[in-house]
Structure 1
Amino acid sequence: MITSSSHLLGSKLGPVIDQAECVIRMNDAPTTGYAADVGNKTTFRVAAHSSLFRVLRKPQEFVNKTPDNTIIFWGPEGRMQKILNKVIQRAALSFPNVSFFVVTVERMHQFDALFRKETGKDRELSRSWLSTGWFTMGIAIELCDRIHVYGMIPANYCIRKSRAHKMPYHYYEPKSPDECVTYIHNEWSKKGYHHRFITEKRVFAKWASLYNITFSHPSWN
């Protein structure tokens, strides 16, 4: 499972990642120009509704780059059913080499229920958006006997006194906001809906021993 974190820059992990049986990427994180650090192989891509058009606008990067590719889209019920499902159906006809899937309404509710079970918080009442990382981790747990996650920071990373210098949120967007500023703002903001990245990572740490999950770059040990 390859995150979009800039922690992967300079890692030279590409050859190791490409040797994995299954490589799962997220949203519109590219490999072109970054293969030395993040690899080229993509087995599954889990993408939010907000990334749909960015993915489909670059078929040479996200759709046609590998001979066998599966893209799983998730999104709010209303938005998906009104517009995006039709776009995905047309894309499936245009790119027969790719398997397109959409997370169903029932499965979306299951992911909400899982968040409530693991955190004690109702997603709607706590004004939270689940992240693509949450969906990707849930899907990976169902698919894989063991999972190696590259580039994901632990829940306490942003409060460590020894934390390294500021790092862009995305490895492919050097001018993107600082990773920790983004995490802390989303975790504690009370206005509107936000991803609860730090809360989710506390859950992932709990799941690590249950589902044979390893985290590196940085290590969670």
Structure 2
Amino acid sequence: MGLKLSAKGQQSHRLVIFAAIFVLMTLLILYGSNNVNDNIYSPLHLAINKAIKATDLKKWSGKDGYVPFHGNKTMSLHCGSCALVTSSSHVLGSRAGAEIDRAQCVIRMNDAPTLGFEADVGNQTSLRVVAHSSVFRVVRRPSEFLHRPDSSPVIIFWGPPNKMGKDAKGTLYRLIQRVSTTYSNMSCFSITASKMRRFDSLFHRETGRDRQKSHSWLSTGWFTMVIAIELCDSIKVYGMVPPNHCGKFKPPAKKMPYHYYKPRGPDECVTYLQHEGGRRGNHHRFITEKQVFGRWAKQYNITFSHPKWV
């Protein structure tokens, strides 16, 4: 009987050892996995410490990074004061339209319209920055976005070089080239492949995050803000919420549509939080970008309105 108890005791002892080893190995695997994720998805206040140094965007900029779709035009636009009108629904009810139109240059994004929203977003457009995914929505409405007899707008298109580059003779390139030829009052440019890479490097430099490793795309807002800093002496941004607006534990009291012209579209904060935390597929890091914009505001004479950033 004593021998049997001893054997059982040894077996129990071995089981305890195996269980302890299993738990330890599991913890090590989880710890290593968390470390990998932390490197890619660490919050900005940690990742920012990995940034090499802040970039002087006035020196970083260069108008040689834009090529025309038609003719030999050059990007010569320069503005003293700029109104950068976002597509956010926070502009609704602002009655800021007249103030926006008084700016020397008015900058808009993608297919954000003015028709029907003039009181809040104004009527003038000097520059429009358009993502490759919005090209068809823009060209489908030429009277709104392309043929404005009272103005000569500049449109800068951005996207993957294999779709938007000068050597990419695909559908998008040919379409924009045809539009640029038809509406000669406009100046249409694409961002060169080398400058697209510089936009990526700038994001990495300013945040410590590698865009591709974190499975994210730069937003049109990122391109527009950097271009505005290149072109404008002062910038007033309309409708952009501060980076802490969409808190996980203290959500805004009122839900707001993501776009002012799509009242039944997705909620703004839900969209921001889903994209910021997304780890699979491709997402925009809207909140991270806004944290960078807040830093840039002090360097490049940028102010925010509707809402005002504190």
Smaller-chain TM-score bracket: over 0.9
Structure 2 distance, partners of 1:95, 1:193, is 34
Aligned AA (1:33): G
SS in structure 2 at match of 1:23? strand
Match of 2:161 among 52, 55, 77: 77
Structure 2 distance, partners of 1:209, 1:86, is 41
TM alignment of 1:47-196, pairs within 5 A: 47-65=130-148, 66-80=150-164, 81=168, 82-159=170-247, 161=250, 163-196=252-285
Q: CA RMSD in A?
A: 1.1
How many angstroms does 1:86 deviate by?
A: 1.7
Structure 2 distance, partners of 1:106, 1:99, is 21
State the identity as a percent: 60
Structure 2 residue 298 is the aligned partner of structure 1 residue 214: no
SS in structure 1 at match of 2:213? coil
- 1:162-203, Cα deviation, whole Å (9 max, x unpaired): 723000000000011000000000000111010000000010
Aligned AA (1:193): N
For the structure 1 residues 201 and 112, does the alpha-carbon distance in structure 2 shift closer, same or farther, using more than 3 Å as the test? same
For the structure 1 residues 92 and 200, does the alpha-carbon distance in structure 2 shift closer, same or farther, using more than 3 Å as the test? same
SS in structure 2 at match of 1:113? helix
- 1:39-83, Cα deviation, whole Å (9 max, x unpaired): 000000000001111111100000113421111100012222233
Aligned AA (1:213): I
Q: TM-score, normalised by structure 2?
A: 0.70
Structure 2 residue 120 is the aligned partner of structure 1 residue 14: no
Which structure has the bigger radius of gyration? 2
Structure 2 distance, partners of 1:39, 1:164, is 28
Structure 2 distance, partners of 1:79, 1:192, is 20
| Runs of 5+ consecutive residues of structure 2 not aligned to the other structure | 1-83
Structure 1 distance, partners of 2:222, 2:251, is 27
Divergent runs of 4+, >6 A? none
Structure 2 distance, partners of 1:67, 1:11, is 24
Aligned length: 221
Q: Quick check: 46-55 or 78-87, which moved more?
A: 78-87
Aligned AA (2:157): F
Q: TM-score, normalised by structure 1?
A: 0.97
Determine the structure 2 residue equivalent to 1:205. Answer: 294
| Runs of 5+ consecutive residues of structure 1 not aligned to the other structure | none
